[in-house]
Chains A and B, each alone.
Chain A
Amino acid sequence: MLDIQRLEKSFGAKHAVRGVSFRLEKGTVLGFLGPNGAGKSTTMRMIAGVLEPDGGDALIDGKSILTDRREAQRALGYLPEGAPLYEDMTPPEFLVFMASARGMKGAARKDGVERAIADARISTVCDQRIGSLSKGYRRRVGLAGAILHDPPVLLLDEPTDGLDPNQKRAVRALIARMAPNKAILISTHTLTEVPAMCTRAIVIDRGIVVADDTPDTLVKRSEDGTLEGAFMRLTDQAEAETA
């Protein structure tokens, strides 16, 4: 479903992503972990076609983001970091715009928007402008925008960041409901969420994949039996190696 091949990106002298590769199958929820500045968002932005990679490629449902960008983007739902939205629109207006921009028309657009509103549980705020919504609702509107064309691949950049525990649980439940039919890549630095949400985890540090395993196996590799311990060990190790 999602095939990442040796993605590379530099910003000036900073080599942000150095040859990241992995594959993701349908039914997998992959946690994409790493310290701030490790290259998580940069990698996701390259997969989404927002940023041009310096090298490598990403195949979304078999379509290259480099040579067949628009087709690849059609197969993808993307929630950018911080869920940026058009604040002057109401959630339904925003979703209709997203659907139209994706070439959906008539009944298909209406159904897609209605289903996304129901799935993201935002029907109670449909009359308000997005600018006046709470952070939790905004995140859910962003999610609705990412899932409204029912894409086979979902890319969610910190979907639960800054949400309260109830909102986090709602987002997690939504992801769990969608998981069987999609390949989902979730970036996060909230480690406690990983075992609850993900079936697989990749740890990235300084632009390199340092671990790729199930959350359980990662925990076993740590000294203190927590994911946090494993995370610290892995990213410290990478630090020692590059130093």
Chain B
Amino acid sequence: MMSWLKEQFGGFTATYRRELGAYFATPMAYVFLAVFLLALGLFTWEASRFFDTGSADLAPFFVWHPWLYMIFLPALAMRLWADERTAGTDELLLSLPLGMPALVLGKLFAAWTVAGVGLALTAPMWVTVNLLGSSDNAAIALTYMVSFLMAGAYLSIGAAISALTGSQVTAFVISVVIAFVFTAAGWPLVLSGVQSVFGTGTAELVASFSFLTQFEGAQRGVLELRAVVFFLGFTAFWTVLNGLWAARQRLG
């Protein structure tokens, strides 16, 4: 059992380090972080009127997370496998004695780390609300945590599609569409439409697969086990697909 695990996950650290290095060796990670933070700031202040809400919480900030992740995280994940195929380095990678789980998770966790850095760099917002009034810091920490889990779920879509298509642009477009479906499924506009056509039961089912709905509780500072399980399960599902699609390369 132990040796089997070692075989499957051997090379995880090497893959993770290589991928993380690749993000920071090129302007990729810096551009991503800068634009992501800019967009998040813009939406929080301009669209949500952060200072006008009159309460010392980060609700006007967290509400944008699913929507921004939907666009930005596929951009972060699109290179993970497609880039290897373009450069021909997948050939090198497949000739190494690595386990597929090590490769898939090493790549996903590297992208997830960059997303985590982006999230960590929003800390000044957290500091600001504390300066403005007494805020519920435990609730904010929890929302951050669930947001980080949600980022992994978005990334897992992008990584899997990158392995499927082998082209960065195609991977980005398809990933954004899929991410949009799973985000917008919880949008009241979509839900009322579904409800009028298929009934309340179907609408509830659709909503339960939506990132918006799953993130809602966490936004209010409530820890819902259901949401945590959903995001982790969703990530696991796409990670398995990612492994299958990447292994398909061996068949020629």
Using a CB–CB cutoff of 8 Å, the interface residues on chain A facing chain B are 9, 11, 45, 48-52, 69-71, 73-74, 76, 78, 80-82, 84-89, 93, 97-98, 100-103, 129, 145
Q: Assuming the A-B contacts A70-B7, A103-B11, are A50 and B94 also in contact, with contact meaning beta carbons closer than 8 angstroms in the complex?
A: yes
Residues in chain B near residue A71, CB distance under 8 A? 97
Q: Assuming the A-B contacts A52-B252, A73-B97, A101-B14, are A82 and B88 also in contact, with contact meaning beta carbons closer than 8 angstroms in the complex?
A: yes
**Nearest opposing residue in chain A for B106, CB measure:** A101
Q: Assuming the A-B contacts A84-B88, A86-B22, are A101 and B11 also in contact, with contact meaning beta carbons closer than 8 angstroms in the complex?
A: yes
Using a CB–CB cutoff of 8 Å, the interface residues on chain B facing chain A are 7, 10-11, 13-15, 17-18, 21-22, 25-26, 87-89, 91-92, 94-99, 250-252
Q: Which of B15, B17, B89, B95 contacts A78 (CB 8 A)?
A: B95
A-B contact count (CB 8 A): 80
Residues in chain B near residue A102, CB distance under 8 A? 96-97
Q: Assuming the A-B contacts A82-B88, A86-B18, are A9 and B97 also in contact, with contact meaning beta carbons closer than 8 angstroms in the complex?
A: no
Q: Which of A9, A45, A84, A93 contacts B87 (CB 8 A)?
A: A84
Q: What is the bound-complex CA distance between A101 and B14, given in angstroms? A: 5
Residues in chain B near residue A9, CB distance under 8 A? 252
B87–A80 touching, CB < 8 Å: no
A101–B89 touching, CB < 8 Å: no
Q: What is the bound-complex CA distance between A82 and B91, given in angstroms? A: 11
Q: What is the bound-complex CA distance between A196 and B240, given in angstroms? A: 49
Residues in chain A near residue B94, CB distance under 8 A? 48-50
Sample 7 A-B pairs with CB under 8 A, ordered by A number: A49-B94, A50-B91, A70-B97, A70-B98, A85-B92, A88-B25, A101-B14
Q: What is the bound-complex CA distance between A129 and B10, given in angstroms? A: 27
B250–A88 touching, CB < 8 Å: no
A48–B95 touching, CB < 8 Å: yes
**Nearest opposing residue in chain A for B87, CB measure:** A84
B96–A98 touching, CB < 8 Å: yes
A97–B14 touching, CB < 8 Å: yes
A76–B17 touching, CB < 8 Å: no
Q: What is the bound-complex CA distance between A48 and B99, given in angstroms? A: 15
Q: What is the bound-complex CA distance between A65 and B88, given in angstroms? A: 21
Q: Assuming the A-B contacts A80-B95, A89-B25, are A101 and B15 also in contact, with contact meaning beta carbons closer than 8 angstroms in the complex?
A: yes
Residues in chain A near residue B91, CB distance under 8 A? 45, 50, 80-81, 84
B27 vs chain A, min Cβ distance (A): 11
B22–A88 touching, CB < 8 Å: yes
Q: What is the bound-complex CA distance between A81 and B22, given in angstroms? A: 23
A97–B17 touching, CB < 8 Å: yes
A87–B98 touching, CB < 8 Å: no
B89–A76 touching, CB < 8 Å: no
Q: What is the bound-complex CA distance between A202 and B51, given in angstroms? A: 77
Residues in chain A near residue B97, CB distance under 8 A? 69-71, 73-74, 101-103
**Nearest opposing residue in chain B for A76, CB measure:** B95
Residues in chain B near residue A81, CB distance under 8 A? 91
A62 vs chain B, min Cβ distance (A): 16
A86–B250 touching, CB < 8 Å: no
Known contacts A49-B95, A51-B251, A101-B97; 11 further A-B pairs (Cβ under 8 A): A11-B252, A49-B94, A50-B91, A50-B250, A78-B92, A80-B95, A85-B89, A88-B25, A89-B25, A97-B14, A97-B17
Residues in chain B near residue A82, CB distance under 8 A? 88
Q: What is the bound-complex CA distance between A52 and B95, given in angstroms? A: 12
Residues in chain B near residue A100, CB distance under 8 A? 11, 13-14, 17
A137 vs chain B, min Cβ distance (A): 17
Q: What is the bound-complex CA distance between A115 and B96, given in angstroms? A: 20
Among all A-B residue pairs, the 3 with the closest Cβ atoms:
A84-B88, A100-B14, A70-B97
